[in-house]
Chains A and B, each alone.
Chain A
Amino acid sequence: NAGVTQTPKFQVLKTGQSMTLQCAQDMNHNSMYWYRQDPGMGLRLIYYSASEGTTDKGEVPNGYNVSRLNKREFSLRLESAAPSQTSVYFCASSEAGRITGELFFGEGSRLTVL
């Protein structure tokens, strides 16, 4: 099993450009997440999806949109990229309602906005 797969792994954008980060999981999990990781800040939740068709804002949603296309896929879109969005983005999934409920993470997508 591949687990959680993110694409692209690296991307350089200019300010104002748009792009979509793709995430897919093959573990049949209900819940999916997008986090960003910045030096000294730990991981901060951008958006969360409890199931297909539902999304919820996290701690830092401004400047991002998400789409839960189906149970497997959860995409993150930057409509007009800003240098402050330079970060490493992690997608994760978990089995909601499971007693342990740990998150499984993808390999990350490193985004640089010039």
Chain B
Amino acid sequence: ELKVEQNPLFLSMQEGKNYTIYCNYSTTSDRLYWYRQDPGKSLESLFVLLSNGAVKQEGRLMASLDTKARLSTLHITAAVHDLSATYFCPLRPNFGNEKLTFGTGTRLTIIP
């Protein structure tokens, strides 16, 4: 059974600081995603990581994937208040299996 574990579950950090969210998963996967959810809102796709060593960056967010370690990271650089949200890293176990499995998410709060 595919399991996704994120840590930390809650993160409060000051503006301007750097931090990393970790996403561990239990079986092989060929596609991992990062989504953002603002309180009371829907989910927005941030990144799709398709292969070992993949790195994607958008603004202050950078995501990477290590399939051998079954680990993805979301690095936040010089955090700003607008990045406050819950972040999820769902994944698909393999091509042809279209069901995404989610973890519990990481709730990030950026303090001015």
In the assembled complex, the Cα of A104 lies from the Cα of B35 at a distance in Å of: 10
In the assembled complex, the Cα of A96 lies from the Cα of B98 at a distance in Å of: 7
Q: Establish whether residues A105 and B104, one from each chain, have CB atoms under 8 Å apart when the complex forms.
A: no
| Closest partner residue, chain B, to A45 (CB atom) | B99
Q: Establish whether residues A103 and B100, one from each chain, have CB atoms under 8 Å apart when the complex forms.
A: yes
The digit string for A44-55, where 1 denotes a CB below 8 A from any CB of B, is 110010100000
Q: Which stretch in A12-20, A35-43, A69-77, A79-87 binds the other chain?
A: A35-43
Q: CB < 8 Å: which of A33, A56, A101, A108 contacts B42?
A: A108
How many residues of B are in contact with the other chain, CB < 8 A? 21
Inter-chain CB contacts under 8 Å: number:
54
Q: Is B88 positioned at the interface, with any CB of A under 8 Å from its CB?
A: yes
A-B contact pairs, 26 of them (CB 8 A): A31-B98, A33-B99, A42-B4, A42-B88, A42-B102, A42-B103, A42-B104, A42-B105, A43-B88, A45-B99, A48-B99, A90-B42, A96-B98, A99-B50, A100-B31, A100-B48, A100-B50, A101-B92, A101-B98, A103-B33, A103-B100, A104-B45, A105-B42, A105-B44, A106-B42, A108-B42
Q: Is B43 positioned at the interface, with any CB of A under 8 Å from its CB?
A: yes
Interface residues in A5-36 by Cβ distance below 8 A to B read: 31, 33, 35
User: With a CB–CB cut-off of 8 A, which chain A residues contact B98?
Assistant: 31, 48, 50, 94, 96, 101
Interface residues in B50-94 by Cβ distance below 8 A to A read: 50, 88, 90, 92
| Interface residues in chain B, defined as those with a beta carbon under 8 Å from any beta carbon in chain A | 4, 31, 33, 41-45, 48, 50, 88, 90, 92, 98-105
Q: Establish whether residues B45 and A102, one from each chain, have CB atoms under 8 Å apart when the complex forms.
A: yes
Q: Considering the complex of A and B, which 8 residue pairs feature the smallest CB-CB distances, nearest first? A: A43-B102, A42-B104, A42-B102, A100-B48, A105-B43, A102-B45, A105-B42, A107-B42
User: With a CB–CB cut-off of 8 A, which chain A residues contact B88?
Assistant: 42-43
